[in-house]
A and B are shown apart, each in its own frame.
Chain A
Amino acid sequence: MEGGFGSDFGGSGSGKLDPGLIMEQVKVQIAVANAQELLQRMTDKCFRKCIGKPGGSLDNSEQKCIAMCMDRYMDAWNTVSRAYNSRLQRERANM
Chain B
Amino acid sequence: MRSHSVRAELGEADEAQLQHLVAAEQQKAQFTAQVHHFMELCWDKCVEKPGNHLDSCTENCLSSCVDHFIDTTLAITSWFAQIVQKGGQ
Contacts and interface: CB of A to CB of B under 8 A. Distances in A.
B59 A45 contact: no
A54 B40 CA distance: 23
A1 B36 contact: no
Chain B interface secondary structure, helix, strand, loop or mixed?
Answer: helix
Contacts, number: 113
Interface of A: 1-3, 6, 8-9, 11, 15-19, 22-23, 26-27, 30, 34, 37-38, 41, 45-46, 49-50, 65, 68-69, 71-73, 75-77, 79-85, 87
Contacts of B7: 15
Interface string B1-17: 11111111111001001
Nearest to B70: A87
A2 B1 contact: yes
A26 B38 contact: no
B86 interface: no
A26 B62 contact: no
Contact of A68 (B21, B35, B51): B51
B36 A37 contact: yes
Contacts of A71: 50
B82 interface: no
B25 A19 contact: no
B80 interface: no
Contacts of A11: 4, 8
A1 B6 contact: yes
28 contacts: A11-B4, A15-B5, A15-B8, A16-B9, A17-B8, A17-B10, A17-B14, A18-B14, A19-B18, A23-B18, A45-B43, A49-B49, A49-B50, A65-B49, A65-B50, A73-B39, A73-B50, A75-B54, A76-B42, A76-B58, A79-B54, A80-B35, A80-B39, A80-B62, A83-B67, A84-B34, A84-B66, A87-B66
